[in-house]
Structure 1
C-alpha cells in the first residue's frame, strides 16, 4: 500500500518538475576499469551495472584526474582539480603558512568552504540532498547536504565516512527512507551513494565468494572479485528501489569509480600501477549517464573525465553554474549525439599524505595528459609522504613516459626517446594547463 501511494505521488512530482530529475551519483571505491561484465571481464559478474550501462550514455575511455579516494571525491564535490581545491591527498602532515597549526585535519576540511559544492548548488535549486558512504570533508552538513549519515571529523571515527560506511554492506534503508521522504514532500532529490565497496576489508558473503573460489584463483583475488559482485548487488537493490517507486524515467543515474585497483595475488593489498598511480590501472574508470526521459543509450568513443560530472549534473538540475569549471556540461552532446569538441584531458598525482596543506606542489609526483591515443607522464620531485604498495614511482619511472594507448594499453613501452616532437607537444600542453612554479620536473634521457 505504501509503495502504491508513493508511485501515485511520484506521478504528480514528475508532472510538476520534469525539468528537475532526481539524481543518483553512484561511486565505486577501489575498482579497476576492467572489472565489470560490460567491460569484458572474464570472471567478475556485475549483471545490475551491466544492465544499467546498456541503458546509458557510456564512456569506456574515461578517467579521474587523480587516483586516490579523498582527492578524487573532492574533485566530484567541487568540480575542480586537486591543485585548485587544495585537497591533494588523504591525510595532512604540515602547513607552511602556519607551522604550529594545532588542527591540520580541520584546516584541510575547511578548504571545501571556499567552493559552491554540488550538494549546495542542488539544495539551492530546490533539491533534498543526501550523503551516504565515503565522505572525508567533515559532516554531511559541511558538504552542503540537507541529510546524510556521516558525522565526520572531529567526531570519533570521523575520518572518511564513519557510520556512512555501512551503506551497501548492511543494506540501503537510510537511502530508501530518504527517497520516500522526498517523494512525500514532493521534492526532487540528490543521492551521493558511495559504498565502502569493493574497498578493503574484502569480506564478501560466503555464497558469492564460493563462486569465485571455484575458479581456483588465489584467495585474495577471489575475495576481491566477490566484493565487486557484492557491490553490484547493492547498486542493483537501490536501482530496483527507484523503479519500484515509479520514478526511474525521470531519474538521472551517474556512475564512476574514485580510483583503480589491481589486486595483489599474495596479500590483501593493491599491486603497483593501480591505486595512487597515474597509469591506466589507477586513473581509468568507466563513466556513464542514464536518464531514460532525456538520453538515448549509446556507447561513446570520446575521452571523458570525472570533472565533467559536476557541470553535467548542475545543468541537468537547472541549478546555478559556477564560473571557471574545467569540466564540460555533456548534456548537449548526450541529447543530440554530437561529437564532443575535445581531444585531450589532464590529470595529476600527489603523495598519499599531504606534505604541506598550503602548497599543493609540495606533494606533486606526476602530471599527465592524454591527447587522442597518446599519453604523457611527467615526473616531479614532490615529497612522497606515506608509502604503500603501488605508491611512489620507482627510479625507472623518473623519466618522461610516453605511450601509444591504441597499441600499448598496458603502458609497457616508453616511446619518449623515439617521438621527441610528440613529447615536446604534450609537455607544452601540460605546462600551458598551468605551470609548475617550485617543483623540479625530471625530463632528461641519458
Structure 2
C-alpha cells in the first residue's frame, strides 16, 4: 500500500509538472486591435463664414462650435472644386476630379443641348452618366480601403454615383436607380430632414456585430429647398433683411441640430472616445436677398465663397484640439489623414497629405483646384478654371479656350479673405511663379 501511494504521488507530480510546462509554452492570444469608428460629417451648400465660431452675427451653430473646441480645426480649408458631385467624389477617393473623372453634376454629349438641358430627369442624362459611374466603380475609395481592417461602411445623405455599393459601402440609403428618381441621393436625402433613425440603425448594427464602422453623413442640409422648421424660421425672420436670408440662416441651424443629434447618439452608446469625427462642407453658398438662388460668387465659382470650408478632425484623447487659422488644408487630406491615424498604408495615387503631421504641413507648398461646367463632357472641353492656393496668395486662372474673356486674378487670401483686391498686375512675378506650379501639377503622370 505504501509503494502504491508513493507511485501515485510520483505520477501526479509528473502530470502537474508537464501540465505547468505546457501552460507556460502555450502561445499567448494576441489582443484584438481596437479600431476607432470614423464619422464624416458633410455640410451641403454653406459658406465658410456661416457658423457661430467663424463670427457670424446671427447664425447659431452650437453643436458644430463644440466640435470645433474638441477638434484640430483648420479654418483655411478648401475643396478642390465648388460643386457637389465632384467635391464629394474627391472626398471619398482622395484624388482630384481630373483623376476620378466625376468632373461635375451632369454629363452631356455633343448635340445634347438640343434635347432640353433643363430636363434633369430626362432619360438621356442618366444614360450619359452611366460611363462615369462605371469608371468610378473601379476606383479605390475609403470604404474599400477600410475593408482590410474589417470596417462596416454606411452611406446616408448626398451621393451622386448611383447605388451606395458603387463607392464600396456595405449598407446605404441611396439606390441610384434613375427609373425611381435616383440622381443625387434619392432616399438618402431624407436623412436629417425626416429624422435620424436609419443612421441610428446602422450604428446599432455595427455595435451588435462588434465591428468598427465608417459613417458617411452628408445630409441635404442646408441645401435648398430652404424649408426649415417654423420655430427656426420665426427665430431668424426678425434678424434677417429678407425672408430668403432668414430661411437660409434657419437651415444652417437645422443642420447643426442634426449634427448634435448624431454626436449625442454616439456618446449615448459610449463610443465618443472611440470615434474619429471629420467635418467638411462640399461647397459654398451665398444666398441672394431677393430670390431663392445663390449668388454667382459662391457655388460653381473659383472664389473662396465657393471653395473655402472649415475642416475638423476630432479623436478624443488622441488628437489635441487646436484652432489653426493659418495652415492650408484640403478635403483631399481627409482620406490620407484617417489612414495614418489607423496605421494603414496610403495608396500612392492619393493627392492629399496627413494634414495633422507637422512635417508634411511644412513641406506642402500649395493646394490646387479645378472647376468645370455643370454639364461636362471632357476635361479639355469643360474646364473653366484652374487654381492654386498658397500662403498667402491664391491664383485664379481661367481656361483660355472656354473662358477667353476673363483675366487671371491674384489675391492675398489672408489679408483679403473676401477677395476684393486683384493683385495680378502689381505682382507679375508671383503670377508667373504660381502659374508654373499649376503647370507642374497638371503635367504629372495621371494617377489612375
Q: Indicate the TM-score class for this superposition, using the shorter chain for normalisation.
A: 0.7 to 0.9
After superposition, the C-alpha distances for 1:239-298 in whole angstroms (9 at most, x for unaligned) are 000000001011000000000000011111100210001101000000000000310101
CA contact (8 A) 2:107 2:125 kept: no
- Equivalences for 1:187-202 in 2 at 5 Å? 187-202=211-226
CA contact (8 A) 1:95 1:101 kept: no
1:142 aligns with 2:166: yes
Q: Distance in 1 between matches of 2:173 and 2:180?
A: 14
Equivalent of residue 353 in structure 1, options 360, 375, 379: 375
Q: Distance in 1 between matches of 2:205 and 2:345?
A: 25
Q: Distance in 2 between matches of 1:412 and 1:344?
A: 22
> Which residue in the other structure is 2:54 paired with?
39
Q: Distance in 1 between matches of 2:327 and 2:159?
A: 30
The Cα shift of 1:125 comes to: 2.0
Number of aligned residue pairs: 402
Equivalent of residue 341 in structure 2, options 316, 324, 335: 316
CA contact (8 A) 2:299 2:305 kept: yes
Equivalent of residue 64 in structure 2, options 49, 61, 78: 49
- Equivalences for 1:401-412 in 2 at 5 Å? 401-412=409-420
The Cα shift of 1:101 comes to: 11
Higher helix share: 2
> Which residue in the other structure is 2:391 paired with?
372
Q: In structure 2, do the counterparts of structure 1 residues 180 and 370 end up closer, same or farther at CA, with 3 Å as the change threshold?
A: same
Q: In structure 2, do the counterparts of structure 1 residues 123 and 338 end up closer, same or farther at CA, with 3 Å as the change threshold?
A: closer
Determine which structure has more spread, i.e. the larger CA radius of gyration: 2
> Which residue in the other structure is 1:264 paired with?
288
Structure 1 regions of 5+ residues with no counterpart?
1-14, 384-392, 437-446
CA contact (8 A) 2:100 2:136 kept: yes
- Equivalences for 1:163-242 in 2 at 5 Å? 163-242=187-266
Q: Distance in 2 between matches of 1:102 and 1:39?
A: 39
RMSD: 2.2
> Which residue in the other structure is 1:8 paired with?
none
Q: Distance in 1 between matches of 2:57 and 2:32?
A: 45
The Cα shift of 1:211 comes to: 0.8
Q: Distance in 1 between matches of 2:61 and 2:400?
A: 40
The Cα shift of 1:317 comes to: 3.2
The Cα shift of 1:343 comes to: 3.3
1:76 aligns with 2:91: yes
> Which residue in the other structure is 1:389 paired with?
none
Q: Distance in 1 between matches of 2:404 and 2:231?
A: 40
Q: Distance in 2 between matches of 1:187 and 1:47?
A: 31
The Cα shift of 1:80 comes to: 0.7
Structure 2 regions of 5+ residues with no counterpart?
1-30, 112-123
> Which residue in the other structure is 1:305 paired with?
330
Q: In structure 2, do the counterparts of structure 1 residues 62 and 207 end up closer, same or farther at CA, with 3 Å as the change threshold?
A: same
